[in-house]
Amino acid sequence: MKLVPSEIFKVLAVETRVRIIDLLKSKGPLGVKNIAELVGITPAAVSQHLKILKQSGLVRSERKGYWIPYSIDEEALENCRQILNEVCTCGCSETGKFKEKELSGASLELLRKYEKELQNEIRTVHERIKEIATPKK
Residues 16 and 82 in one domain: yes
Number of domains the chain is built from? 2
Whole-number Å distance between alpha carbons of 120 and 122: 5
Inform me whether the pLDDT recorded for 102 exceeds 70. no
Per the structure, the complete domain to which residue 35 belongs is given by: 1-87
Report how far Cα 64 is from the mean position of its chain's Cα atoms: 23
Q: Read off the pLDDT band of 4 (50, 70, 90).
A: confident
Q: How many CB atoms lie within 10 A of CB 32?
A: 20
Is 27:19 a contact under the CB 8 Å cutoff? no
Q: Read off the pLDDT band of 65 (50, 70, 90).
A: confident
Is 17:39 a contact under the CB 8 Å cutoff? no
Decide the pairing of beta strands 70-72 and 59-61.
Answer: antiparallel
Residues 8 and 69 in one domain: yes
Residues 12 and 78 in one domain: yes
Q: What is the pTM of this model?
A: 0.61
pLDDT tens-digit series, residues 19-47: 999 999 889 899 999 999 999 999 999 99
Residues 7 and 40 in one domain: yes
**CATH number of the domain residue 48 falls in:** 1.10.10.10
> Which residue blocks in 74-107 are alpha helix, DSSP H?
74-87, 100-104
Q: What's residue 105's pLDDT?
A: 67
29: exposed, middle or buried (Cβ count in 10 Å: 0-12, 13-18, 19+): middle
